[in-house]
Structure formats: structure tokens, C-alpha cells
Structure 1
């Protein structure tokens, strides 16, 4: 006796959850580092607060360094003095060391 053929919409045994598929895709294309950098830039306001974010003109990552352009000289001075603390807060938010240095412009 012949088994009935499965319908085209039937679930196959080799299917995986979407989360695992996306993680495999990120690993395959080696996008993990860039994805971490983008999420770090996106979390700048949450980590540093609204007041600092309002005085921030530009935030970007290049070659493992985070560059932050500020519109306030006194704020820039304060952040330069607390550079290691800012670096620790940002890397703690990312869960891994994404940037090795912060440069305030």
C-alpha cells in the first residue's frame, strides 16, 4: 500500500524556528560585529540619557572606535574626563566589547 503524499503546505521535519534561521544567517555572512556596532549607536540615547542625546550631533563607529560629535564644549569636556566610564557603560549595554575607544569631536 502506498503512503499518501504530503500536501505542499505540510510542515517538514527539517524546518527550524525563525530566530535560529536568522542567527545562522548572521553567522554565515559574518554580520555579527557590524550588527553589534549598529545596535550600540542606536542605544546611545538610552545609555547616556536624554540630556546628552540632545547635545549629540552625530554618533558612528569606525575601526572599533566610537566617534561622537557634540554641540556643547562643556559637555565634551565632562565626557572626555569620564571616557572610561562611558566606554564601560556602552560595552555593558552591548554585552560584549564592541568598541575599544571613544573619541569625542
Structure 2
């Protein structure tokens, strides 16, 4: 059974309970990581980004530019740190650039 919250609970607590109870966190993480990528990388990288997908703890980014892919591959750890900092917890552990 679900845990009943008091009627005077803040809406944030109610939403967290709904997310946990319905196991929605992985989907929320996928959306949040895609948004974080767009916000952190800026227009220059986003114009060459075809797809961003989170599967488990691995972020898959499909790029249309081989030169950009090579350049970003040198900063994978920084990308992971920036995205996790933006989300406030460790969601991404690996980045694969395609």
C-alpha cells in the first residue's frame, strides 16, 4: 500500500511521493539529462546534436560532426561532472559520443 501524506504536505513532497510510488524517476532523469545537455552545451554544440539518450547511467549523444565528436571526447569527464552538477545528483557515469 502507499504511504499516506498529511493534507498539509507541501506540493513538492506530494510530487516526490508520486514519482517514487509510480517508478517514474528513470523517465524524469532522461528528460532532465536532455535538458541539461541543451542548457550546458549551448547553440554551437546543439546545432550538431542529433539525439541525446540516457540508458541506465550511460549518456549516448549522437553528433553530426566528426570534428566536434573528437573534440568533445577529450572532455568526457568534465561533461559528466557538469551534467551531474546541473541535476544535483549522480545520474550519468559514462558518456558515449556517436
Taking structure 2 as the reference length, the TM-score comes to 0.84
State the superposition RMSD in angstroms: 1.6
Bigger Cα Rg: 1
Q: Does the residue aligned with 2:23 lie in a helix, a strand or coil? A: coil
Structure 1 portions without partners, runs of 5+: 1-12
Alpha-carbon distance in structure 2 between the residues aligned to 1:98 and 1:19: 20
Alpha-carbon distance in structure 2 between the residues aligned to 1:89 and 1:39: 13
- The answer on whether the counterparts of 1:68 and 1:104 sit within 8 Å (CA) in structure 2 is yes
Structure 1's consecutive aligned runs of 4 or more residues displaced over 4 angstroms after TM superposition are none
88, 91, 96: which one aligns with 1:95? 88
Residue 55 in structure 1 maps to residue 48 in structure 2: yes
Q: Does the residue aligned with 2:32 lie in a helix, a strand or coil? A: helix
Aligned length, in residue pairs = 93
Shift of 1:23: 1.4
Residue 79 in structure 1 maps to residue 79 in structure 2: no
Structure 2 portions without partners, runs of 5+: 1-5
Indicate the residue corresponding to 1:32 in structure 2: 25
Q: Does the residue aligned with 2:51 lie in a helix, a strand or coil? A: strand
Taking structure 1 as the reference length, the TM-score comes to 0.79
Shift of 1:15: 4.7
